[in-house]
Structure 1
Amino acid sequence: MNINKHFRQLLCLLFLDCKGPPPRKQIEVLSGVWSEQKYPEGTKAIYKCRPGYITLGFIIMECKNGDWVARNPLKICEKRPCGHPGDTPFGTFQLARGEKFEYGAKVVYTCNEGYQMLGRINFRECDSDGWTNDIPICEVVKCLPVTHPENGRITSSVSDLDQEYTFGQVVRFACNSGFMLVGPAEIHCSTNGVWSGEKISCQKPEIPNGRAVSLKNTYKENERFQYTCHKGYEYSNKGDAVCTASGWTPSPSCKEFICPSPSIRNGDYEPKDITYRSGDEITYYCTTGFYPSNQGQTATCTRTVWEPQPRCGQGNPCDFPEIKHGSLAPENRREQFPVSVGSKYYYSCDRNFVTVSQRNWEFIHCTQEGWSPAVPCRRQCIFDRLQNGESPNRVEIRLQGESIRVNCNPGYSLQNEQTEMNCTEDGWYPPPECIPLKTCSKSEITLENGFFSESEHTYSLNTETQYQCKPGYVTRDGKTSVTITCLKSGWSPQPTCIKSCDMPVFENAKAKSNGTWFKLNDKLNYECHDGYESQDGCAGSIVCGNDGWSHKPVYCEIPEIEYNLNTEPKNDSYTFGDVLKFSCRDGLKRVGPDSVQCYDFGWSPDLPTCKEQTQRCSPPPQLLNGKVKETQRENYEHNELVEYVCNPRFLLKGFNKIQCVDGRWTDLPICIEVESTCGEVPNLDYGYTVETSNPPYHHGESVEFSCREEFTMIGNKSVTCKSGVWIQLPQCIATNELEKCKYNLSIPEVNRLNKTEFDHNENISYRCKGKSERKHSTCINGRWDPKLSCTEVQMQSCPPPPQIPNAQNMATTINYQDGEKVSVVCQDDYMIQDGDELVCKDGQWQSIPHCVEKTPCPQPPQIEHGTIKSSKFSRKMDETLKPELYAHGTKLNYACEDGFRISGNDEIMCHMGNWSSPPRCVGLPCAPPHLIPHGIPSPKSESYQYGEEVTYQCTEGLVINGPATIKCLGGKWSHQPECKNMDCFSLPDFGNATPIGRQKAVYRSGEKVTYKCPRHYLLDGPNTVQCINSQWIGKPICKDPNEKCEPPPTIDNGDTTTFPKSEYDPGSSVEYQCQSMYVLEGNKVITCSKGQWSTPPKCLDVCKISEDIMKQHNIQLGWSSKKRRYFPTRDTVQFECIRGHRVQTPPQSLQATCWDGKLDYPICVKHSG
């Protein structure tokens, strides 16, 4: 008894609900709404990573035994890496937060001594989108220019005293004769950008016609003083000044706005004055026959200009005409406008646009209403060829706004299935090209165990084809051949052939089933005729297998049954399809199913238990996109049922009923949104729809029919759209042709009725002999519904449906009646095979589907001139360089390059490891190529197809510059050639170098001219130039040996040791030095000779150790190099292998030498042993 009590306690624990919603996590976000107090066993919660964190797939927690348990505890959200933050020249950075360059890390930059940071932001942070801010920039510290002291001078070597000084530069002072120096004799530019020496201060200046913004009276050195000018005045220099050793720089002052007296042609103004201040206003008037150019007759002085500009013109003037897709004749300049009424100007239109008269040049007129015509240039569309359609016999021309009707070949249509093209500003719309209508391809179908009856490969919209199943296979409806239709959404229905067995012919036996065909693994029971028996006795069973009917049974092991359970039947072995029934002893209550069935995967569902007491259930849970069918109550007794229905557009999968089992509900069904829709309502012969809406129709929507007069409806009066197909279409039959039903007197058990014939829709009531209850039937067009019968049909119920491997949870304890079906939904990454429904037949579940793993697809096929658009459905196998895989069902879209269009459906789909056929990118045609001066294209046409070529010929005396043949490449030409005169027309000027001999106006290509230098000048370079293809080749230079040099050239990562001068005498030299850790290569001293410097040296770059490369190569810094991260050129870096690895090359290769920022890292590999 104690053992039973402990066992009952254990069972209670197995069905504990989870109290409260799943836990909230710091770096993981819980998806969905969780507002209930309790959640049943098996409820799943999905977490997503917060921004800044990543993981592969989803993180799932499941309610098990009253606790929320992680499905995969090792799957966690990890911080998203950001990579290296980037170095800044003349500065360094340190990790201020975190240990790696990952989400949440912060690096702070500092500049080297003598350098300061541009801007206030000195850090970068790794957030969900990468590194924030730009890499800070360190620039050399500079001091403001120094002014010479009163009665003294500056003795610095710097030539331009008004320029800024860089960190470290020195300025020396000297007094004029008779004066003594007060203060330091020299100052230097310090690290903070101020000059060394005594502290300098400035007093707030007095500013005529202005005022200070700040209220301070005294300012320190380098402090800025801001001021503003009074109305009518502006800054002489800029709006602030800096306190320097020599006072305020620049000196703050304000100057007045002044406008000169206006000069108005054909007009006058008042008041008269020599100058006008800002805000002054004049009134002007025009002489007879002239009018103000602008609205109003006033102008105001603003910042030295009059606004608006006072002008007088004849009539209402016209401004410069902006001609869209055209232009005025070149001699008309914008400065000539506005012009008076009556003026006219020639204009022309761009290519493909024409003037109103369609002549090359036309007048545009200035009128009182403005320029006329208002639309000078209109598009001209030329129609001479229709791809995949009926081209015109002669060229058709339409102007902007006009249209033309076209005819496409069968199976083709203009874009958006239009039949007319409109001439628009951008050309024909839709373009003159017939594209294939939506088609369906046989390659889109994976038809196993079947074949198509026709040889065609591609089918146009709404056409049908038929497929047949191989012998031994049928469709899901038991047919051997089915017709499918090409719809916009693809083939409907999707063809399927599943393994089947026909009803066998028994000898001296009969089947216990009325079926005519059976699916794979279906079981058929039979019994022998009287006086006969088989090897199994007087009854037996056979199973439909891949090779037909087989006596070889599939066995299930005898299950472990607890003491309080009674079982029937008690056999030594159980075969596939056998059913075990249960009851509890001693008045105990059963918790679980009353029966289970043997399948090829074992017993299902799980066996029941027996309990003394059972618990009630709280109200049933909510169903996403569905609801409870009846009114809910507060409590439900053990074994009570509740039925669910889905919302419109959703299809129920699983069990439509759930059951209260000892205080908890069995698994909910799911409501799946049906994407496929139905098109036009089918026609009903002799009938019509009562009320319809425009398609598409969604799953679950119905349309009602009615029959015409003198016709009667047979069947349901409405049709329903289910999963994209209309079902249950009624019939309209002529009322006078309806058949009558005859009363069957041959049934002796039926009490006789007064009539022998009954009309359509007439009801009868009868009673079988020996029975008290009455039966009812209705005459439907000559047939009784239901059929008249007194034979008792024993309908066997089926045990609760099984939990199919890899299918979503289907735990239930409800029995099903003969003929009922249950739909199955597979888990993610699995797909249904052999149908998607279980069928209750003869007390057993038949036609068991299977959930097979979806096969991913490899890389999609590449198409010429096209690319795959990015897809969020692709997934990586792991973090390696393996090719990307795409899950079954993934859809990808192609896009063509500019100048190409998609031919066919741009979408492909992955189906069990294979991609559907990809589209093609077809090149767009080209308009006629541009005319070039003196060039003639051949051949000529109004339109050129992709790949066609045109060759140019130049007129006499000119030649093609470049290739003469151009090619149509997707709506545009490959290039535009040019006809050029290859002669040279004037000699180039080379300064002191002069040509020898008489100069000519024209030089033929290939001719040479010799130059000479003046006395005391030296020639640098060749002394001749040559005319080659209209260009002079060669550059003689005459140099003065005493010519001075400009400032020395700058070098990367280095500078001269002295501040550069504006010019250097011949023979002068300067010395270079490199920045810290950079190594100088070449002569550090360069010399000025003949106005040119000798070759400057180079500062070789520093090597920075890369943690990423070391990780990839399985190495780390050796003991002698561990504390360093930067190595100058020629320094040796010592590495070592990480634990468990050995060097791939000889040991001395663990050393690497830095050269100009480059380092060859050694490689270590794993120990093989």
Structure 2
Amino acid sequence: MKNCCGKTLFLLFLFQGKPCSYPVIKHGRLYYSYRGYFPARVHQQFVYSCDHHFVPPSQRSWDHLTCTAEGWSPEEPCLRQCIFNYLENGHTPHREEKYLQGETVRVRCYEGYSLQNDQNTMTCTESGWSPPPRCIRVKTCSKSNIRIENGFLSESTFTYPLNKQTEYKCKPGYVTADGKTSGLITCLKNGWSAQPVCIKSCDRPVFEKARVKSDGTWFRLNDRLDYECVDGYENRDGRTTGSIVCGQDGWSDKAACYERECSIPEMDPYLNAYPRKETYKVGDVLKFSCSQGRIMVGADSVQCYHFGWSPKLPTCKVKKVKSCALPPELPNGKRKEIHKEEYAHNEVVEYACNPKFLMKGSHKIQCVDGEWTALPVCIEEERTCGNIPDLDHGDVKPSVPPYHHGDSVEFSCREAFTMIGPRFITCISGEWTQPPQCIATDQLRKCKGSILFPPEGRPAHKIEYDHNTNRSYQCRGKSERKHSICINGEWDPKVDCKEAKIQLCPPPPQVPNACDMTTTVNYQDGEKISILCKENYLIQDAEEIVCKGGRWQSIPRCIEKIGCSQPPQLDHGTINSSSSAEERREIHEQRLYAHGTKLSYTCEEGFEISENNVIICHMGKWSSPPQCVGLPCGLPPYIQNGVISHKKDSYQYGEEVTYDCDEGFGTDGPASIRCLGGEWSRPQDCISTNCVNLPTFEDAVLTDREKDFYRSGEKVAFKCLSYYQLDGSNTIQCIKSKWIGRPACRDSQGKCGPPPPIDNGYITSLLKSVYPTGSIVEYRCQAYYELRGNRNVVCRNGEWSQLPKCLEACTVSEETMRKHHIQLRWKHDKKIYSKTEDTIEFMCRYGYRELTPKHTFRATCREGKVVYPRCG
């Protein structure tokens, strides 16, 4: 029989699962002893009830504890029930509300008050409300706690509550740190957010014949402002640049420049200069000749510029001058002249650059006493021309873009139209030259005759000539004949016997900090020369100088390139970088990017770049950065038993919509959702707020007849059975489809059931089913947990006294430290576990910098959790 019985028990275990031992219900007890039924078989049920302030998950006064293959169900038979019916120094709810363990409620404190630790929500925990329903007075800030030198608080209020902002103003002549006349400060928990500062300032001065090297509108005390004089002017010190300093009494000097003059230069004794004057103004030209049959070597004229005379003055030689060998080859260019073996003194050679290349410097070089003057430079022109301009009544011969510098395209006019102007247009530095016109042939204007034409039997002014007519004429006293063509009503060239006075400009100047362009060649009116600055310099104003009226005009400046400091930060965006960590660290330490540096941005997921994502450093300033704009959202998601309050086709980033639930339905959380980067936050369902299935209680009975359903907020009263006594509320309430509460009926004998278990702890003595009043049990914690509270718990009037807690230790995670680029500060510190309130010190790994505030690197273990700092 014994063997047979053992076999039967094995089969029962195999098919029914592992039996359940006698349950220890934290904050509750089995309704009857049931001692003879254990171990219990799977699916077997037992009635249990919870202690005062605790209810089963069903929120009935009692429920069933079921043995399953995984153990007892529910795992937590008794949950804390918290009542919210009063808020000290805050807005109390209109009716009593009950919440189950884990549920949270938002509260509103009176102005100047807050829950503990500045919280605005309470959570129902095993020990009750956390934090307690008590609003405590928060710190205020006083006007007497702040003193603003050279400024004052503009409001009359003396005390300010937490988070209150107030405005302060600066006295005339003073500004805030960001250059404004007023600023804002905020009352924070530790006092005012910042000490207001009003600093001495100077407004932007008025410049006379000078330009400033800064675009600021105000300047701090001791700020230095650099300026430079316009062409032909200098300051009192005889310089073209100067500085003024902002002081307590304003600017240190007047930023004024005065007309500059060139004095008579030192010359070769055999060199004659004219016109002779005591001083020469900027723009004056001085011409030279040699006396006593000597030969001039160098430029025959110079011009007075803001930087002095240029080019160098010539000399007079008594001996024969030398000729020159073959002129040098020009990279990316070629000579226009026929090659010769020898070139005489003063002979000129002209160059042209290859297609796609732009010439910088003089396109002519000259043989000067056996030496050639400086070659020009052909640089690649990156700018291309856009679409070919349209020609009314004309067509362009087929061509293939892109169009580079020097490329030409040809036009033709349609039948019955005549072309006026050049047939070809050329791409020059990204711009097309002027296109021709197609004029209807029968609308071409005629040209009037001239008295200079040979007589034809009629008065000259009455004779008209058709378009494209070629006429020749001879001026009095001249043997050669001149020719002119009628072009749509105008003679080209103009019919005239006046001698045009050809004005020549001196050889072009050598601009300071520009590449060598020394030449002795004179230029005719209208000719231009393009200037090229040295490598670390940037051209300012015009790129070309122009020969006009015998003088060079539009003289540019070559200014030194200035780097930029750190680029602007972008909300929801980061700067792309292909450089190594070492290079990034060097740049960060130097805090300077070279002129011309380009940086690009990338937006976070859910955001898109608003415009070109590249910024460029130009003379110490970054171009305007783009913006990372949150992606819009489409229609909000549909929910049952609810509708959107205001419906649209599209919603911008950050926009909210609110759901309205049907009558008898409500949301179990926020009723609004937000558009976040192209996606909606998750909506709450509209659930029924009515309650059905009124719970039953073993120790209490209903005082009225039961209904089919109860509306949210409705209360139901019970009365205790004869052998139980009331110890608190005798009602339960319908809150959002859930019954909250249970009748507080307790055993009148005052005995306690088994002491409740605690997380991560145990009771040192054997458990009993019943404990008389005054019984004491002892609790201890498992390894690496710390006991908080009284380890001895006492049974009084049917309830156990406050239970202790076992606080979890903190475990330092190697993986998290790697992700955050941190390590323990002290190498000898090898602790894996730390108790609550222990301090753990961190530091950045080599090559990384702190991303979180300094105090975060000294973290405190709080109930098993530690907040790690970050480095990057």
Please classify the TM superposition score into its range, dividing by the shorter chain length: 0.3 to 0.5
TM-score scaled to structure 2, two decimals?
0.45
Which one scores higher on RCO, CA 8 angstroms, separation ≥ 6?
Answer: 2
TM-score scaled to structure 1, two decimals?
0.35
